[in-house]
Chain A
C-alpha cells in the first residue's frame, strides 16, 4: 500500500499540480499494464474530512482531518456510500472507533 502525503498549497499550486496529470496517468497506466495496480484514487482535500470516535457508546464527530501524531495509520476501508451520514454510520461500527479514530473522506471526482 502506498500512502501519499502532500503539503498544503494555494490555488496556483493546485493548478500546477493538476498540470502534472499526464505524469500521473503514465505511472498509473504502466502499473496497470504490469498487473501491479489494484486500486488508487485521489482524496478530496482535508477540509472535507470528518473524524469519528465512539466514546462511552456515543458517536463524537470532529470537523476536520485526524490530527494526532501518536496514533498510527492502521488500515482502511473503501466504501460506496450515498452520502456522509451513511459513511459515518458504517464507520461507527468499526471496533477501532472505540479506542482510535476513523477519518472519513470522499474520493475526489477527477474533473
Chain B
C-alpha cells in the first residue's frame, strides 16, 4: 500500500499540556508518587512477536507493520521509552509488537506477548463487558436501581433525586456523581482497601439528576464492578478472571494489585521524563480497581478486541451473545447528534457518523488507547509505559488516517440560515467541564480549564483557553460549529436564548456548562490580583515606614552621642 501519509487526525488531536494531562487523569485517575530509580537513555529495540496476514483495510500486513514501525520510531526514546501495539482485523491479530524498552534501567525490550502494561481506564471496557454478561444472564438489568443489587453491601447510592442511578447511567457516565478525578491512587500496596470500603469512604455527592449530562466518573465504573461482584457473590477480580480472562486466554491479564508474582509475563516499569531521557519510576496502585487497575499484554488486548469484533466470540469461545455485543456497541446516551456520544462503556471516536468506538486510559506513568472499527472489523490497541503530552491516541489517529477508517474532514460549509451573528453572541461566554471537581482544592483545575467563547465576524466563533489554545469555528447548522482547519465540532443546546450546555466532539467525557459571572477567570483573577497587590503594597509601606523610623531614631541617637562627646 502506498497511500500518502496523512498528518491529520480525527479531531483536536492532543492539545497537550494540562488538557491532555487532565484527560488522562479523568480517564483513569492518578497520582504520581514516582521515585526515580535510575537514569539511562531509552532503548529503541523492537521485537515482533506475532504477525499474520490480514484482510479488510490492511491488505498487506508487512506494509502495515512498516507503517507502524515508522510512526513508533518517531516516538520511542523521545515520547516514550517503550510501547506495545496490537492491531486485529477480520477476527485475527495481524500485528502485535513491542517497541523500545520495558525498563530503561534493566534494558529489557518490550515484548507484545510477555510485557504487561498498566492500561488504566481501558480496563473499564472489561468491567462494562462483565456488566453486559450479567444483563445477558438475567442477573443484572441496565435500568434497575443499582441499590437493589447492593442489599447486604455497605455501599448505598443516596436518594438525592427522584430517579435512581442505574447501570445504564454508570456505563455512560451520566449518573451525576461529582467528579473527584482521583480514583484513590496509593503509593503503598498495603494502603489498598477492599472495594466496598473504598466505595463507602469515597462516595461522591450526586450533583446532577441521573441520565442528564455526561460527567466522567471513576467512582461510577468502580461501583459497576462492585455490582457485578455482588450480583455473582464473588470478588470483582475473581469474576473477570473466570468469566473473561480465562475463556479468552488472556493469561497475562489481571486486575490484582500488585501483579502477583506467579502471574505470567513481566510488568513494564513506569517511566518519567528526565531531560532527553527517561527514568524508571515506582508504580502506584488504584483503589477503585474496576475503574483502572487492569494490567495486560498487547496480545491479551488483541483477544479482547477480537471478542468484541467477533460479536462476542473468539473462535468457539463466546463471552457475549451476538445480541448482547450489539447492544453494548449501540448508543446508550446521546449528548448531541452532531458530536461523539456514548455506547455502553465505549465512547465514540472522531466523526460521530462513522462507527468508531474507543476508550483512553492512563495511570500516573502509563497511557493507552483502544479503538474498534466494527464496520471494518478492525481493532487497535496502543500502550505506552510513560505519560507524555502526546499519548497513544496520536498513534491511533495516524493509523486511522492512513488506512482511512474514517473519511478525512472536509472544509465546513457555512449555514445559509440567517441570524448567525445573533446566535454567535448568544453562545458567547465562559464554560466549565462537568467532569472536573466542583469542591475542594482541585476546583482550581476547573478554573484553569475554562473555555472562553467569543463571537467573531460573519457569525463565526473564536474559542480560547488560558493555555493559549485559540481556535476558530464556522457555523454549519444553527448552534453547531465546525473547526476551521481542524476536525472538531461544537454543539450548543440553547433554550429561550440561554445556553444550557456546550458539547465538544473531542471531549466525550463531559459537557461544558456556562460559568456564573463571579466565577469567571477575569473576575477571579482580578479579585485575587487586586487583593494581592493591596497586601504587597501594604507590606512594602510598612517595611518602608519601619525602616524610616529606625533611620530617624539612629540619626537622633547619633546626634545625642555627638553632643555628649563635645
Are A and B bound to each other?
Answer: no
Question: Which residues of B line the A interface, CB within 8 A?
Answer: none
Question: Which residues of A line the B interface, CB within 8 A?
Answer: none
